[in-house]
Amino acid sequence: MAKTIITAALTGAVTPAGFNIPETPQQIADTAYECWKLGASIVHLHMRDDEGMGVMDPARFRETITLIRSHKDCDVVINCTSSGDNRVSDDSDYGNGRRMEHHATVPGIEMGTFDAGTFNWGVPGGIFCNSPKFLLQLGKLYIERGIKPEIEIFDAGMMRAVGAYAKQEALKAPLHFQFCLGVMGGMGATPAELQYLISLLPEGSTWSAFGIGKGHLPIMFAALANGGHIRVGMEDNVVYGIGKDGKKIMATNQMLVERAVGAVKAYGNDVATPTEAREMLSLPVFNGDAVRAELGIK
């Protein structure tokens, strides 16, 4: 039976307060552990500051990862964002450095995002800046640190850009893509648009996909139907469904992972374990004792 990797994106940087979003390192770590127990093989981490704003704080990343790895039975794959604070998302040397500081200094990060281009978030919204200078630096840092890039694709032109970064030796095959669909400044969250992106994949690549908001379910099912992996979580979607009374049922990360597990099994696939996910994504074998030692966990 085919194996499907489920990524749980727990927090994000822009989902507003008032929903069931984990924000503190303890809340994020507890949610990560619970989602792993439910079937997520990867957790995608963002940090929030004391006011609930997205922040690129190496100390908070380290604390969260330490809390996750304090569960000695938990072998979930840890994937950390390279974009999570609109105050440092410009092309300044400070902003660029702050966006990758945790990847350079915090042990235990196995994957990191590589947003393959710049675009407008929406209207009003701002510019999500991912300059060639930043991406070349980020890709080469990932190679030095042994971190697997998760190449986030918001629009088709970014697929062409990936080839340029590979030629500059900032990306190395086999490549792993995350199709991020439904942002106003990018491609829509429709099965047709997902299939077009799939047609552009380099040979030997792996891929996952998710849809924002109401695009969550169409893209999850379309990804399964096309042999891809799936991402769910409160970063992307806060509504679970509509109740019999016509009111929205608000989601939790745990609810979204449970539904994804059910969808994978209903489709006839098996949910990939973290060990299987690492093998499929060409990640190193997990050595929990070594990671805990690096983090200072006794």
Residue 17 is predicted with a pLDDT of 74
Task: Give the total residue count for the chain.
Answer: 298
- CB within 8 A of 266, min separation 6: which ones? none
Whether 239 shows a pLDDT value over 80: the answer reads yes
Q: Is the pLDDT of residue 258 over 80?
A: yes
The pLDDT tens digits of the residues spanning 158-206 come to 999 999 999 999 999 999 999 999 999 999 999 999 999 999 999 999 9
Higher local confidence (pLDDT), 237 or 124: 237
Taking 90 as the threshold, does the pLDDT of residue 18 lie above it?
no
Q: Which two tokens stand for residue 250?
A: 């608000």
Q: Is the model's pLDDT at 5 over the cut of 80?
A: yes
Residue with tokens 């016509």: 246
Confidence of residue 231 (pLDDT cuts 50, 70, 90): very high
pLDDT given for residue 162 in this prediction: 98
DSSP track, 133-186: HHHHHHHHHHHHHTPEEEEEESSTHHHHHHHHHHHTTSS-SSPEEEEEE--TTS
Domain extent listing, the chain = 3-295
CATH of domain 3-295: 3.20.20.70
> For residue 245, what pLDDT band results from cuts at 50, 70 and 90?
very high
pLDDT exceeds 80 at position 133: yes
pLDDT, one tens digit per residue, over 47-105 is 999 999 999 999 999 999 999 999 999 999 999 999 999 778 777 887 888 999 999 99
Q: 122 falls in which pLDDT band (50, 70, 90)?
A: confident
